Amino acid sequence: MSNLPDFIKKYKQLELNRSIFPRKENLYNNIVIIPAIDEYDNLIRLLNSLAELKKKYLDETLFLFVINNSDRAGEGIKENNRRSLEMLKNLIQKKITDERLKREIIESGLDLAIVDASTQGNELPDKHAGVGYARKTGMDLALTKFDYSSDKSKIMICLDADCTVDNNYLIEIVDGFNQRNLNAACVDYEHTLPDDEIEKSAAITYEIFLRYYVLMLKYSNSPYAYQTIGSTMVCTAEYYCKAGGMNKKKAGEDFYFLEKLRKLTEIKFISGSIVKPAGRISWRVPFGTGRSINEFCKNIKEQGKDDSILSVYNPATFEVLKEWDAVYYRDDIINIEEMLRAAAFVHEGIEKFLVEQNFPQAWKKIVKNSVVPGQIKKQKFLWMDAFKTMKLIHFFRDNYFPNINLFQAVDKLFELYQIKPLTGSKEILPPIDVQVRNLERIKDLYVKVLD
């Protein structure tokens, strides 16, 4: 620890109670952290994808796999993880034990390492076991493997075992951070579509929703308009520590980690390469891609075209949010009574929400502790964070603007961005080709707006 930078020494949540295999002295500028639980088959797909990476920067990059499960995990999960550990250890020793693995993995120069958070005595405690703690375990250990003598950015790259990546993935990230002097970023993504027709439709509509939400936040000029997908997150080691590291949440760890990062620095967008998470049913978390696809498929199969699973936040909410952001960040409103009047002028729901969230008390502290207008603006930004923004959106959903059909909302989204809508249909779920075309158009808009 004595030779680590001061920013790591100040990072109070550092946990180094596990070790990296193999133990070697190599140091790196880039470390890709990949948590995996019950992912043997998907690890093969990911490894074959990584074998296709262009070689630039491979010699200064470590791929760190965190094979994890709780101390109460079932025998099937433990056995799958045991096979994953064995496969990865063999690959490190230049041996291929599964015929589905490409020979290029050994010949590619990939530098692989493992954190065993799975076998007896190494498991994650059941209270915290989940993707958040698994990421934290790998990211904290990664801090000890960077070459801090190099003047290049020390880049922590999050990936998941059920993903594949483009062959320029590493180049786009490393060049982006070093040439653009980035502190944090999200890589563009595209869910792999299942073959099953219903599951495919579920993956498409879920991705449309994810991009819709970010684009509507961007339209409203929210400073928290970025995608919260764990397998796309990237940051420097320094900002990882400044943000207090990864949390131990079983789900939503990406949302809260990125929120902490955003309060410190901008989260940029890397559009030149794509991470491809699996669009699959999953048991792992109470929400997210897998859960959404599972619920969609269940509803479609059991109830037909159920509109409840295809409803999203009403665009009218974001139009109000846009007006409110323009007022909220003005420099000339200091008095709390004046601020509340301005909020009510935008919409009565804004004033009610602020009062409900104890904003008047918080505002008095903000003004009292701020010497210059710039400090007030910063404190406004910190108060109205990603979580409160989402709470406001939910408040309007519950009290003023109920959710509407996804594809009607997308039509409105395009109109707000001055693009002619595609669907123009009152169908709850349009034909699959219309769904695909909507997804392609929204992806193009997403890159154009965020890039």
Mean pLDDT of 94-101: 94
What is the arithmetic mean of pLDDT over 118-128? Answer: 94
Lowest-confidence region among 164-173, 258-267, 304-313, 381-390? 304-313
Residue-wise pLDDT tens digits, 196-251? 888 888 889 889 999 999 999 999 999 999 999 999 999 999 999 999 999 998 88
For residue 321, count other CB atoms closer than 10 A to its CB.
25
Q: What share of the chain has pLDDT > 90, as a percent?
A: 78
| Residues 272-316: tens digit of each pLDDT | 999 999 875 553 433 344 454 556 656 655 555 555 568 899 999
Within 10 Å of residue 268's Cβ, how many Cβ atoms? 19
Separation CA 58–CA 172 (nearest Å): 13
CB 105, CB 91: distance < 8 Å = yes
Name the segment(s) of the chain with CATH classification 3.90.550.10: 6-188+227-279
pTM value is 0.93
Per-residue model confidence (pLDDT) at position 283: 37
Q: Which two tokens stand for residue 211?
A: 């991009």
Query: Do the strands 184-189 and 311-312 form a parallel or antiparallel pair, or are they unpaired?
Result: unpaired
Mean pLDDT, rounded, of the chain: 91
Section 22-31 average pLDDT: 95
Residue at 296: amino acid letter: F
Is 304 or 358 the better-scoring residue by pLDDT? 358
Q: What is the pLDDT of residue 121?
A: 94
According to the model, what pLDDT value does residue 9 have? 92
What is the CATH class of 6-188+227-279?
A: alpha beta
Structure tokens at 375: 């400090």
- Residue 108's identity, in one-letter code, is S
Position 198 scores a pLDDT of 84
Q: Residue 8 has what DSSP assignment?
A: H
Instruction: Name the pairing type of β-strands 61-68 and 30-36.
Output: parallel
Is the pLDDT confidence value at 32 over 90? yes
Specify the pLDDT at position 298: 61
